[in-house]
Amino acid sequence: MNPTKNPVIIHTLSVGIRKHRHMNQQDTSLIKFQAYSRELTNLKSIESLLSWDQETTMPSGGASTRAGQRETLASLYHERLISSRYRDLVELVANRIDDPWVQADVQETRRLQNKAIKIPPSLIRELAKTTSLAFNAWVEARLSSDFSIFYPWLTQIVHLKRQEAKCLQVGKTLYDALLDEYEAGSTESKLNRVFSRLRPKLTDLLEKLQSSRKQPSDNFLKGNYSIEKQKQFGKKILTAMGFDWNCGRLDHSPHPFCSGLSPRDVRITTRYEKENFGVAIFGMIHEGGHALYEQGLDNNRFGLPANTSISLGIHESQSRLWENVIGRSTHFWKYWYPLLQKTFSKHLDSVSFVHFLRWINRVKAGLIRVEADEVSYGLHVILRFELERELLSEKIEANEENTQGKEKKKKKKKRKKKFFFF
């Protein structure tokens, strides 16, 4: 019997051919979608690299050029993200492939596209350029303790962020629109409910602790600590934490941060003070926590939309866990304090372990969030939430925030004047 005339065989072959064609279509659309997604991620990584360079090594004279570069990249990324080609690929993949990871990529891409398409390209360019130029103004203002240098840039940024929030607004408030970028699905009202319960309790606890007579001295650990020795000691801690130096590096910047260009390229920074080694050491532990999260992402899925940190809150939970729960614990320093004493024997030989442990866990309100203790840190966050909410809703303007800051400084006459904005 001729097999080509057998209806069963013909039907089986035709079904197989259709399945093969369908699978090829699936494979082709998925390959194109993933390739396009990775190109977009590369653009974001390049922008992050430019930002890292600006905060670590770029000469100040390059500020205007860098602003133009970042403006161009932001515009290009925005244009490609909302392109009809990419949106068509997303829908093809969404309808043909039911793999849960692929569907997660589709969901995240749609979320980004639905937001980006609401923002005009001109606003994208202006935000990128202005925030880039503002950084150098902030550095200059910080060095000279002169808020007036940064103030014009702050007012511009607030104006632009209000425009962005109005473009994106879907919930009840402008704050909701911008909050979604960092904590998807969260709202101003949810945060307000949490903070309204925490604030009075944290305030009472802070006042109680600061009024206690059992206060560790601020002066007994102050000295001239070699910056190079601080750096080398911090690198030992980072190594013990599991930081992969083949896929990361440590640099100095005015404000500590972690930049995850990919799981294979994660860069952290800290800042140093000769008279207080704690600023750099705890800064390194904190940023090391961020870095471990970034290095722990799946490198095989790098570039795909869902292969990113889930939220800023989760990210910060990792850094705060390392800095405070582990990094200020008795067991942690039972191992590291003898090594720290050896590193700075001139200053620490006469300082007991008990006194050292009390000093690194002291509670004292201050103006700098990244140097805040575990109690007042939460109040820094709540205060910023309240100020940002009022700024976005136009209930206050940036100059009023400056006035509030000046009034607080007047009450702290004994404190050395220091400009702050982080």
Euclidean distance between CA atoms 125 and 55, whole angstroms: 20
| C-alpha to C-alpha distances, 315 to 209, 319, 400, nearest whole angstrom | 29, 7, 32
Q: Across the beta sheet with 265-270, what order do the strands follow? A: 248-252, 265-270, 258-262
Helical axes 100-116 vs 7-56, angle rounded to 10° = 50
Give the H/E segment covering residue 380. Answer: helix 374-392
Decide if 384 contacts 376 (C-beta within 8 A). Answer: no
Of these residues, 287, 294, 388, 401, which one is catalytic? 287
Euclidean distance between CA atoms 298 and 284, whole angstroms: 23
Tokens of 65: 């050029």
Angle made by CA atoms 142, 145, 146, in degrees to the nearest 5: 100
Backbone dihedral region for residue 214 (phi beyond 0: left; psi -120 to 50: alpha; all else: beta): beta
Give the H/E segment covering residue 365. Answer: none
388 is catalytic: no
Active-site amino acid positions: 287
